Amino acid sequence: MTAQAESFMRDQIAMNIIAKPQSPARATIKTVALHAGVSVPAVSKVLRNAYGVSDALRQKVEASIRELDYRPNVAARAMRGQTFTIGVLLVEISNPFLQQIVNGLQEVLNASNYKTLFGIGQSESALEASLIENMISHQMDGLILVAPQIHGETLAGYARQIPMVVIGHHEATATTFDTVNSNDREGAEIAVRALIERGHTDIAMLNMTREDPDEYNVDSQRLIGYHNAMNKAGLGHHARVLHVPWNMSDRPVAIKALLQRLDRPRALFCWSDLDAVRIVEAAQELSIDIPDELAVVGYDNSSIAGMAFVNLASIDQSGNRIGALAAETLLSRIGGRKSASHELMEPRLEVRSSLGS
Amino acid sequence: MTAQAESFMRDQIAMNIIAKPQSPARATIKTVALHAGVSVPAVSKVLRNAYGVSDALRQKVEASIRELDYRPNVAARAMRGQTFTIGVLLVEISNPFLQQIVNGLQEVLNASNYKTLFGIGQSESALEASLIENMISHQMDGLILVAPQIHGETLAGYARQIPMVVIGHHEATATTFDTVNSNDREGAEIAVRALIERGHTDIAMLNMTREDPDEYNVDSQRLIGYHNAMNKAGLGHHARVLHVPWNMSDRPVAIKALLQRLDRPRALFCWSDLDAVRIVEAAQELSIDIPDELAVVGYDNSSIAGMAFVNLASIDQSGNRIGALAAETLLSRIGGRKSASHELMEPRLEVRSSLGS
DNA sequence: ATGAAAGCGCTAACAC
DNA sequence: GTGTTAGCGCTTTCAT
């Protein structure tokens, strides 16, 4: 083999090493334009159903798109126009109620032109903020925040940069973003009233613990509702709020300890089924009869509440509808609506044996 | 007021109307360069810690970045370099086991430079495919797919376009992407063996139903493990596989019907706690004693399995570790690793009363 | 060590 | 109706 031939071979091998792994370079709008024998902007117009394209041109372009299996590059689009991507920030994902909301969101969004990407905040506001900024930086077309742990002013700052709808944040005075909520104050009142109607007076609330509570949070609203109901019934002096540390692992233990206290209440309204179910479990282990020795009402009417061995009365806030409405609200805002929309859905009580009679 | 002054005022007002709503135009790399009195590429190099920047220049640029609160535009970056964004596709989110995986993933990814965005497939392969393509189109730096309902060949096609790790897909022969799995075959064998050791011979399996089963799916692997264990014990002729339609709403009803059949088995291995818990519930409603009349073993050792009123024996596959390992594997592949990595974690049985003795 | 110039894939403004 | 030109914010040669 001559020196030239050897050199040629080496080049061939090198080219293969470089060229092989990268698949047959994805088609761009340029490739399509070339293939269809038209200009690049012409293709762009077809893609966006823009005004002023002849049928003939559209046919040609669409044929080329199919043949080349072309799909527009979202990243490039992001620099000039829309990305057709909606960002959703979830506070966390273990609470089954949030899954209802996600289902409602997807139902509406998947039927639209938009794709949905989720960020999961792990209940940490710093992580939430960085995810929101990342979504804005990705030039997403709109944001839905679910129960964010972020202050109202900061949210308003984000809303100036991107169309935004917030779920689980009771700030009906916000002008730059929309909100969709369940009436958490009313939900709590319904629960406590149901206990009062059944003759209870020693009714405590088991609430979530937060480092930095905020009037806009759902748990603050439920707390207000609890106090309202107690006061209205003249039981204000009996009001008691219990807390357990917000830590997944030892939470069940802390909840059990609560029931072992001498001053255990006769009735309990829990901010979430997550805790209410643990109460039911602990009561069974401690041979405390529900509802005769302890009446319990939870919140969210999660699927486990309805199971035969739990039978937990609970406030139902139909997360599916909340999610679907939030998605529709965002789409209408992206569509150009400027005035803020603040929706409040009414919750209802799902009566079950833990409530007593 | 003079005509000129009036005109001037109108202009001012108009400018405000236009200028006010859009917030103080986000700083770009150009703004920073101007502010620091350096070139645009210089700023870019500082951002990427690139080689060859003097300390003096770095100081100046970093000061300007802080002062202007500059954050690079991911969309623009996507066109030339990295996005520092990882995409995760989840088959769905209601199964608590998937939440363990998400926790494991986030633990590793949040400690890295990468941000994580999730797609939720709603158990529909068409939606999954469109989400994956969207993520590729966003020029994400890598993908983690969790239990995708997509065929191996299609996955290989995606893997040619982006670094990829797949969880819950038993294709150890794949060369273009990595996999991380629990040994589902072994898990099923452990469960069935535990029942056999306790004297059972009439052991059925309750499996997931799929339109289009695939040897690579976890449920197929568990089915194989079930048959292996039965055959090894000489019980092959007793093997029976039960199914219920994969539909969230009437699934509990179908499961209850299963226990009302005359040929109800004496022991049951369930592909998931999701179904096993419903079995426990139905048994209680039908006054079928667990474990004396029906022994049950579930899969995933979800938190509900351990609750006092359920007490369900279950196979534990430590989703946290699977998620964390998958994230590490992806980072190493993004880092340049070319050879495929296929990890198999060993599951274990969590013994509880539903197993009998 | 630093900057000038080119270009990623797409869309918008304006000719023709 | 269609093509030409310019430019989004960033990274990457390649001079100097």
pLDDT in tens, B130-182: 999 999 999 999 999 999 999 999 999 999 999 999 999 999 999 999 999 99
Cis peptide before A41, with omega less than 30 degrees from 0? no
Residue A77 CA to residue A82 CA, distance in Å, equals 6
Q: How would residue B245 be classed by pLDDT, with cut points 50, 70 and 90?
A: confident
SS3 A101: helix
Any idea what the Cα angle at residue B124 is, between residues A107 and A305, rounded to 5°? Answer: 60
Q: Above 50 in pLDDT, residue B103?
A: yes
Residue A174 CA to residue B10 CA, distance in Å, equals 29
Residue A66 identity (one-letter amino acid): R
What pLDDT, on a 0 to 100 scale, did the predictor assign at position B320?
97
Q: Are B60 and B38 in contact (CB under 8 A)?
A: yes
3-state helix, strand, coil in chain B (%, to 5): 45, 15, 40
Which of A63, A49, A127, A56 has its CA nearest to residue A92?
Answer: A127
Q: How would residue A247 be classed by pLDDT, with cut points 50, 70 and 90?
A: low
Q: How would residue A210 be classed by pLDDT, with cut points 50, 70 and 90?
A: confident
| Residue A101 burial by Cβ neighbours in a 10 Å radius (0-12, 13-18, 19+) | buried
Residue A205 CA to residue A244 CA, distance in Å, equals 11
Query: Which of A93, A115, A118 has the CB atom closest to B134's CB atom?
Result: A115
Residue A182 CA to residue A206 CA, distance in Å, equals 19
Instruction: Show residues, CB within 7 A, near nucleic chain D.
Output: A 38-42, 45, 52-54, 56-57, 79-80; B 28-30, 40-41, 44-45, 47-48, 50, 72-73, 76-77, 79-81
What average pLDDT is seen over chain A?
91
Condensed to tens digits (0 to 9), the pLDDT of residues B21-30 reads: 445 678 999 9
Stretch 100-129 of chain B: residues touching chain A, C-beta under 8 Å: 102, 106, 110, 115-120, 122, 127
Condensed to tens digits (0 to 9), the pLDDT of residues A39-74 reads: 999 999 999 888 888 999 999 999 999 999 999 999
Condensed to tens digits (0 to 9), the pLDDT of residues A68-113 reads: 999 999 999 999 989 999 999 999 999 999 999 999 999 999 999 9
| Residue A265 burial by Cβ neighbours in a 10 Å radius (0-12, 13-18, 19+) | buried
Q: How far apart are the first and last CA of chain A?
A: 98
Q: Measured between CB atoms, does B133 come within 8 Å of chain A?
A: yes
Q: Specify the pTM.
A: 0.91
Q: Above 60 in pLDDT, residue A16?
A: no
**Mean pLDDT on A188-205:** 98
